[in-house]
Amino acid sequence: MNVSFFPSDNVVQSVVNVVLPEGAGTYEVVMIMYRDPQYQETFTQTPVTLSVNDRVYIGIRASGIDPDQFVLTLDNCWTTPVSNPSSQTRWSLISNQCPNTLSEVQIAESGISPIGRFSFAVFKFVGDVNQLYLHCQIQLCNFQTTRCSASCPAGRNIRPRSQTDVLTGGPFHTGPAVVDTVNSAEVSDSSQQISVSTVTIICFFLSALLLQ
């Protein structure tokens, strides 16, 4: 399947340039929201209105890396009701490269190219919270010297041990989403709760913190 991650001027997207340590150069990371499972039809303006249980398709592409040496892996992705990625109120979508089946997360591509793709079912947090943020942490993994994929059935993540082989960037943030709480149904899991309703995405942005 041919997938394009080169957006036009009117695509709902975010771009960040990250400087790598020790003079290793820079790379550009682009995160884009798509309408379709082919990752071809983008959202062109905000707000974007979605119904709960609709699927959101997210594409992340790293430019400026050597595709014959590095691949992009989706390490962790999670949602919070606030922009702070460290918020204690959160819902995990991808953990240690493995999808959260409770969120109907589907990873289409990770650890095989400079592109990562995944989708999840739209939801909202319970209570009066009317915003939803998405955060993702990615890794650039040297597949020539390191195993870059996780063993999800065993519940383990095969993490590279050499800092030279792996460059970690993130978290990345998209959001917020304004949520209509009319006729919502609540679902809870441990300390994390979500609620069913209509979601309107009014903003999409991306930032990055290089982790040493």
Question: Are 55 and 112 in contact, with CB atoms under 8 Å apart?
Answer: no
CATH number of 13-211: 2.60.40.4100
pLDDT (0 to 100) of residue 169: 46
pLDDT (0 to 100) of residue 109: 94
Tell which residue, 60, 28, 63, 10, has the closest CA to residue 173: 60
pTM: 0.71
- Please name the residue that has the structure tokens 């943030």: 173
Question: Are 170 and 177 in contact, with CB atoms under 8 Å apart?
Answer: no
Residues of the chain below pLDDT 70: 1-25, 45-50, 127-131, 153-212
pLDDT digits (tens, 9 = 90+) for 34-43: 889 999 988 7
Q: Partners of 77 in the beta sheet?
A: 94, 136
Domain ranges of the chain: 13-211
Omega before residue 37 within 30° of 0, cis: no
6: number of Cβ within 10 Å: 9
pLDDT digits (tens, 9 = 90+) for 41-89: 887 766 666 677 788 899 988 888 888 888 888 888 888 877 778 888 8
pLDDT (0 to 100) of residue 128: 64
